[in-house]
Structure 1
Amino acid sequence: MRVKFLSVLALVCLQALAPAVKAQAFPQKPIKLIVPFAPGGSTDMVARLLAERMSPILGQSVVVENRAGVGGVLGADAVAKASPDGYTLLMGTVSTHGASPAVYKKIPYDAAKDFEPITNVMSVPSVLTVHPKLPVKNLQEFVALAKASPGKYSYGSPGNGSLGHANVENLLQLAGIKLLHVPYKGGGPALNDALAGQIDALTDNLPSTLPHIQAGRLRPLALLSPQRSKLLPDLPTYKESGYPDLDEGGWFGLLAPAKTPRAVVLRLNEAAHQAMQDPAFKARAETIDGIAMANTPEQFGDQIKRALARYQRIAKSANIQID
């Protein structure tokens, strides 16, 4: 009986140690980090920066793969349906876990239930710019110009239902103005037409537009961020310009498929936070005005819930809905 008891006790102890052993053993092969947007954008930039720093910490390559389409939906869905083993991750954004679920009638994943949040990584402000031909120097003057001629002036977005579309529509509601929406197939074409003066206004992540602002090819009016940019210290935020509801910029966070083991989630959280402390990571983040957003899986989950609620409210009030 004593031998049998000791055998059972040993089995119980081994089962209790299993999660810790599994966490120590992870990863045993390269990890795929899916970016749900095209190469070269802010999401891609942050993902590659994180992957480069996480690889030596984990002892395995973290390989970035771009799967663009439908406002980030295609890439996010691929991760939602992947094996929950920690080897396929998503660089999620306010688009994949905020705007897109709010505006698309049919979306193949549940942003709240089909993922395990790991950690937020970085927040990057977006900026409203206009072509220099417009006789405005700040947001108040732009609003006055638009009110004087409803529907005359245009703004571009990366597409119907995109984050840029939702954010500008939110401004239009709050300011009581009308602009002509010109949707594009991606942020690049919208930026090109903004530079050419084919559209009057554009909202985009600051890293994408900063070189053109500095060269005088675009004029910044307001920053979507809780604080001013170190790169454009004279540019006021939306809140400072009279729109306190517009105070959160875009963020980029790490997610895994739902039911990924807790021990694996925590190992990835630890590795990501360690990577974000790397001096090279911090230095690169400063060049794009990125704000580190390291947090727990639970805190990141709460951020996602708030983003979903906010953009559902915007989509409903602006009647933005896509089949």
Structure 2
Amino acid sequence: MQRRQLLASLAAASLAPGMSFAQEGKPLRMIVPFPPGGATDMTARSLQEAMARILKQPVVLENRGGAGGSIGMAEVARSPADGLTIGVATLSTHGVNPAVYSKLPYHPTKDFVGVTEIVKAPGVIVINPKALPVKDFADLVKYLKAHPGKVSYATPGNGTIGHMWGELFKSSTGTSMVHIPYRGAGPAINDVLAGQVAVYFDQVASSLPHIKAGKLKALAVSWPQRLDVLPDVPTYAELGYAVNNDPSWFGLVAPAGTPAAAVDRIQQAVAQALQDPAVRERLAGQGLYPSGSTPKAFSAQIAREIDKMKGVAAFAKVSLD
């Protein structure tokens, strides 16, 4: 009996403060608010095995797609705050959606506690060089000012990240373009490649093959420094447009009220998993750059992103209610 009590005490002491021994071994739900196969899903799957090994508990992915990520995030928000449910938050779910919808089935800050940022994804503005006679970013701005409202840009739909990036570009450069929303990224980029629409705002990973093939021309990237894969393409900040220089991102949130010890435990597991060469290789294959952050820093980042996107939505008069 004394030996069993000693072993139980040692096991409990090895856990993060405030965590019950029962947490270890119980499944951790990771809710992905988008369908399988996309970048959000791939980010979660890249971490799944490493996190399970580090936490010593199964990590079970649940894809709850729909309504721009709102259905999945609402499921996270109403889940028990017991440290056994987390959700993959994105620039869409915790930046764009709160800016373009006045009514959401979740509150982006009150219903969640930030756990950590996982990765960042650089953005890019591309043009079809056959559809638009410009050689670089400055030339594009000059051309747009000389031809207000005559050039169109494509996006995967109203209220998407591409839409908000396009409107932010118009606001920061003082230019005018016509927004052409499509039903998804595939149709949008296909029409840009065909020359039906001249400009597209995208993540680098998606457009890179077309850039390398010479079908699209990259004019600027949203990243702290020039990318190794596009060394000749300047950042927005280099060009004097720092407000456009923020990349996309993916992170983790937990239901509000989740104990700090549980949040810290998961954050530390993600930080450790992001050092795994196999994890980093899988993420790099998707054009995603491991980052990581503290719960406090990620919560503050979400708040800043919401304020920024609300400003863009107000400028563009974007409301999807």
TM-score, reference length from structure 2: 0.89
**Residues 205, 38 of structure 1: alpha-carbon distance in 2 compared, 3 angstrom cutoff:** farther
Equivalent position amino acid for 1:247 in 2: N
Query: Partner residue of 2:215?
Result: 217
The answer as to whether partners of 2:125 and 2:218 remain within 8 angstroms in 1 is yes
Count of residue pairs brought into register by the alignment: 309
Q: CA deviation at 1:56?
A: 1.7
Q: What is the rounded CA distance, in whole Å, between the counterparts of 1:275 and 1:213 in structure 2?
A: 32
2:115, 2:266 within 8 Å by CA — same for their partners in 1? yes
- For residue 84 of structure 1, what is the amino acid of its counterpart? A
- Deviations along 1:258-297, whole A, 9 cap, x unmatched? 1122222111111111101111222334444533321211
Gap change, CA 1:191 and 1:68, over 3 Å in 2: farther
Task: Report the counterpart of residue 81 of structure 1 in structure 2.
Answer: 78
Alignment match, 1:125: 122
Residue aligning to 1:148 = 146
157, 164, 179: which is aligned to 2:155?
157
Query: Percent of aligned positions with the same letter in both sequences?
Result: 46
Separation of aligned partners in 2, 1:39 and 1:214:
27
Secondary structure, aligned partner of 2:19 = helix
Q: Which residue of 2 aligns with 1:48?
A: 45
Q: What is the one-letter code of the residue matched to 1:193?
A: D
Alpha-carbon shift at residue 67 of structure 1 (Å): 2.7
Aligned partner of 1:61 in structure 2 is 58
Matched residue, 2:231: 233
State the partner residue of 1:93.
90
Residues of 2 paired with 1:232 and 1:19: CA distance? 43
| Cα distance in structure 2, aligned partners of 1:95 and 1:41 | 13
Partner of 1:102: 99
Offset at 1:95?
1.3
How far the C-alpha of 1:40 sits from its partner, in A, is: 3.0
Point out the more displaced range, 190-199 or 86-95: 190-199
Mean CA deviation greater in 34-43 or 257-266 = 34-43
TM-score normalised over the length of structure 1 = 0.88
Tell me if structure 2 keeps the 8 A contact 1:42–1:208. Answer: no
Distance, in Å, in 2 between the alignment partners of 1:51 and 1:166 is 30
Residues 113-160 of structure 1: CA deviation (Å, up to 9, x unaligned): 111211111111111111131222211122222222222211111221
Match of 2:259 among 253, 258, 261: 261
Question: Which stretch of structure 1 is more off in the superposition, 261-270 or 296-305?
Answer: 261-270
Do 2:18 and 2:261's aligned partners in 1 also have CA atoms closer than 8 Å?
no
Residues 1:136 and 1:40: Cα distance change in structure 2 (over 3 Å) = farther
Aligned to 1:207: 205
Q: Report matched runs for 1:105-116 at 5 Å.
A: 105-116=102-113
**What is the one-letter code of the residue matched to 1:299?**
A
Could you give the per-residue CA deviations for residues 60-79 of structure 1, whole angstroms, max 9, x where no partner exists?
33233333333222221221
Matched, 1:188 2:175: no
Residue 4 of structure 2 is matched in structure 1 by: none
- AA in 2 matched with 1:301: S
- Name the CA distance, whole Å, in 2 between partners of 1:188 and 1:180: 19
Q: How far apart, CA to CA, are the structure 2 residues paired with 1:87 and 1:41?
A: 24
* Contact 1:23-1:263 at 8 Å conserved across structures: no
- Where structure 1 has 5 or more consecutive residues not aligned to the other structure, the ranges are 1-12
Taking the aligned partners of 1:71 and 1:288, their CA distance within structure 2 comes to 20
* CA deviation profile, 1:303-323 (whole Å, cap 9, x unmatched): 111111111122122222221
- Seen in structure 2, the aligned counterparts of structure 1 residues 45 and 76 have a Cα distance that, compared at 3 Å, is same
Deviation of 1:88 after TM superposition, in Å, equals 2.7
The amino acid of 2:120's aligned partner reads S
1:247 & 1:298 partners in 2: Cα distance?
A: 22
In 2: Cα distance, 1:184 partner to 1:53 partner: 37
- 1:7 corresponding residue in structure 2: none
